[in-house]
Amino acid sequence: MELDDLERLYEGEWADVDVAIVVAVILARLLVPLLIIRYPLPAIIACLVIDAVDQTMFRAVIPDADLSGYQSYDKALDIYYLTIAYISTLRNWTSQFAVSIARFLVYYRLVGVVLFEFTQERWFLFLFPNTFEYFFIYYEAVRVRWDPLRMSRALLLGATAFIWIVIKLPQEHWIHIAQLDVTDIVQEVIFGVPAGISWVDTFAARPWVLVVFGLVVAGLALAAWWVFNNRLPPADRPVTLRADDEDGREARPTKLMEVRQVLATSLFDGQLLEKFVLVSLISVIFAQILGVSAGPMALAFGLGVVIVLNAAVSDWLVRRGRHWVSAIGQFTPMLLLNVAIYALLVGGAALFGVSLSLDRAAFFLLLVSLLVSLFDRYRPEYVARFAIDRDLG
């Protein structure tokens, strides 16, 4: 879907379209990922479901919409929620090796999406598969009942290789190379009806398919129950879906404050570099989908200014024994600071006769402020958990 298609909703061109559905889908893709921080497994599964049905819903409410740009829209929002999932690993995961794998998988995918956005060559998405998402789900599924530290490095690497080769490469080929739509295949092949007709008519064509599907699901559920109770090791704890239930996550407040103070003594460090790379890659991706005229270098420079100033303010507060009490408490002043920075940049450019477009600036300010706030809030927890000397230097 092109951005112009969404803008046309507000101009009355699609007066008979339920605008609320379109807005609800977009808001869900922006807000539900925030739940990953505290409810990793159910939240990321919810993101997967929304991602799977949004194109179908857009086709249903906007039948004549041009969906040729949907790939960029979809990948950008995928990257958004996967980035929040990665930041949640810094906050929640107790296996440092698993975090290292997650970091590699996230940045590997980011590079692939950036290359796709600039070339529109789909094979980049196949070559740089989204392995992180299923690796994240695997780790969090284990954490529901077991201590993740029981997983050896060999097991984590084996799970990564299995997800990459057996699951993601075929899936990426199906989606990006063969360009097959699951909904169309289900309607045309399984139910034998034309693609795009209502699901009521689809199910009515071959109702026995639903019966077979129900039996298969019941069989899989029974098999999973048997494996869970007879083949898996004894559980370490009751079912745990909330990340804050992780034993010992908040057992080190004094150490965490010490880490924040040590990190605040140096502005230009590894934390700042990773934050700049992470936010820059994501912003370049969103800039492409939003049609921002600024080039990658200009965008990177502007982001660099914002990120450095944000870090300077946060470090100044920490050195005086203060820190943000919550991620939301940090996001609000950071957003106000970034609005002021942008206003100064616009004013300074005007003095030299340069006009900086305000188009879509609000979205970028929100995106950058959110990601910077989350990263600054939770990366020190990662450092404190593992007492990483090189991150304190």
For residue range 41-87, what is the model confidence (pLDDT) as tens digits?
999 999 988 887 777 676 666 666 665 556 667 777 888 899 999 99
Average confidence (pLDDT) over 184-198: 79
**Residue 61 vs residue 305, higher pLDDT:** 305
Average confidence (pLDDT) over 326-345: 76
**Residue 367 vs residue 129, higher pLDDT:** 129
pLDDT of residue 64: 64
CA–CA–CA angle 222, 224, 225 (5° rounding): 65
**Residue 154 vs residue 389, higher pLDDT:** 154
**Is the pLDDT confidence value at 393 over 60?**
no
pLDDT in tens, 214-231: 999 999 889 877 877 777
Q: Domain coordinates of the chain in residue numbers?
A: 252-393
pLDDT of residue 336: 82
**Is the pLDDT confidence value at 15 over 60?**
no
pLDDT of residue 252: 55
pLDDT of residue 358: 57
pLDDT of residue 179: 72
**Residue 249 vs residue 369, higher pLDDT:** 369
Average confidence (pLDDT) over 231-245: 80
**Average pLDDT in the chain:** 78
pLDDT in tens, 110-147: 999 888 888 888 889 889 999 999 999 999 999 998 99
Single pTM value for the model: 0.81
pLDDT of residue 389: 45
**Residue 172 vs residue 17, higher pLDDT:** 172
